[in-house]
């Protein structure tokens, strides 16, 4: 029986060791021929915002370097792009130290500004889906997610990383449409996966993020590299490996669709049967984003974004990116209208100063 994923231990960010692990994984999963000489290959890392690699918010530059080394051996032409949640792609590449790797490895930067609209009546939710045109301009896509917790969706791994193909402010529109409904949002992301299916997914979990991810959590050394050509299966297996207490909304929806058959739910490799201990610390908002009767009771029983008066710089990034337009600057303070707030936690995700946390309270701390 063929394994669905390859799990390996890697303790340090050393490109040669990471590349060797990737080669072993490609061989174990019979994916060595997935990328051929002359293929134009788009690398899609997690570049949610401009942060240094040691904060474990973005895909580590040495993972990008290692992947480029392997693909250069294949004779591929390399490109890299993303649509950051906030800030320019160029600034994100500079701050994450990926730009230096791109120069050394001859990787061209790709903007996701140009859009294309796909009509697919068989999609679960997004019958009309606008994505970055770059998603369809290359022979292969290589997905390079970061292992992180997520305040709304539980985790952000391979499938969630593809949400970056939604250009710019269009992300906020989908958050607003989904509102509190994590499962509707999961189905939208799975619609994106149907349209944009990577040749393989190589997850950076050497230093992951736990707690209030995807940007406000704590770096956690996990020593994991994980590979698969099937993103939903990879996510399910990684969630089990790190010890999530229950299936995340994405895995639940993938399971309903029959995308997680029992005969494929196992990994091979040195780390496959040695799960993380102690288990990863999950985000506070992930288990309470939805429940029956939420419209009436959410003000009391659903955790909400809270603003730190001491950390807040009044930069208004949260105000500008709030899908529900529930935040505004009043008397030099950020004020949240919780009647409008949809608990998507975009403010917590995008705050460059870590001034937003999820919990109970009056709106500040």
Tally the C-alpha atoms within 13 A of residue 177's C-alpha that lie toward its C-beta.
13
How many C-beta neighbours within 10 Å does residue 73 have?
Answer: 12
**Boundaries of every domain in the chain:** 5-268, 294-359
Contact 205, 213 (CB under 8 A): no
Q: Is 1 helix (H, G, I), strand (E, B) or coil?
A: coil
Q: What span, in angstroms and rounded, lies between the C-alpha atoms of 135 and 117?
A: 11
Rounded to the nearest integer, the mean pLDDT of the chain is 92
Q: What span, in angstroms and rounded, lies between the C-alpha atoms of 167 and 157?
A: 19
The answer to whether domain 294-359 has CATH 3.30.70.20 is yes
pLDDT of residue 295: 47
pLDDT of residue 172: 84
Question: Which tens digit of pLDDT belongs to each residue from 208-257?
Answer: 999 999 999 999 999 999 999 999 999 999 999 999 999 999 999 999 99
Each as own residue / partner, the long-range contacts of residues 314-321 (CB below 8 Å, 24 or more positions apart, any chain) are 315/352, 315/353, 317/86, 317/350, 317/351, 317/352, 318/346, 318/347, 318/350, 318/351, 318/356, 321/85, 321/86, 321/169, 321/172, 321/346, 321/347, 321/350
How many degrees, rounded to 5, is the angle at CA 144 between CA 171 and CA 55? 80
Residues of the chain with pLDDT below 50 are 289-298
Question: Which tens digit of pLDDT belongs to each residue from 60-78?
Answer: 999 999 999 999 999 999 9
pLDDT of residue 133: 97
pTM given for the model: 0.89
| Residue range 5-268, CATH number | 3.40.50.11440
């Amino acid at each position: 029986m063929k394994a669905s994923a390859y799990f390996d231990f890697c303790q340090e960010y050393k490109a040669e060791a990471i590349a060797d692990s990737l080669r072993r994984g490609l061989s174990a999963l019979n994916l060595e021929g997935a990328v051929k000489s002359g293929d134009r290959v788009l690398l899609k890392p997690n570049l949610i915002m401009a942060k240094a690699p040691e904060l474990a918010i973005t895909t580590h530059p040495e993972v990008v370097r290692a992947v480029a080394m392997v693909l250069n051996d294949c004779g591929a032409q390399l490109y890299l792009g993303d649509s950051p949640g906030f800030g320019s792609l160029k600034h994100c590449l500079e701050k994450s130290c990926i730009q230096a790797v791109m120069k050394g490895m001859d990787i061209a930067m790709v903007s996701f500004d140009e859009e294309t609209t796909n009509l697919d009546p068989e999609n679960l939710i997004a019958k009309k889906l606008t994505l970055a045109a770059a998603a369809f301009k290359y022979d292969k896509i290589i997905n390079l997610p970061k292992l992180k917790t997520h305040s709304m969706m539980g985790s952000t791994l391979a499938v969630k990383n593809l949400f970056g193909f939604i250009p710019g402010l269009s992300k906020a529109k989908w958050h607003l449409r989904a509102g509190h409904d994590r499962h509707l949002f999961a189905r939208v992301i799975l619609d994106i996966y149907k349209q944009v299916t990577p040749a393989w997914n190589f997850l950076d979990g050497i230093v992951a993020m736990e707690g209030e991810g995807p940007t406000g959590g704590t770096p956690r050394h996990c020593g994991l590299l994980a590979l698969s050509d099937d993103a939903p299966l990879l996510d399910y297996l990684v969630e089990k490996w790190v010890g999530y207490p229950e299936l995340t909304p994405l895995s639940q929806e993938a399971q309903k669709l029959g995308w997680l058959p029992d005969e494929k739910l196992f990994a091979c490799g040195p780390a496959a049967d040695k799960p993380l201990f102690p288990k990863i610390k999950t985000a506070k908002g992930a288990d309470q984003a939805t429940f029956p009767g939420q419209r009436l009771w959410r003000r009391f029983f659903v955790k909400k974004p809270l603003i730190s008066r001491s950390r807040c710089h009044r930069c208004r990034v949260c105000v500008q990116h709030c899908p529900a337009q529930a935040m505004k600057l009043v008397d030099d303070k950020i004020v949240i209208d919780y009647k409008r707030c949809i608990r998507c936690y975009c403010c917590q995700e995008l705050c460059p100063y870590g001034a937003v946390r999820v919990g109970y309270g009056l709106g500040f701390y």
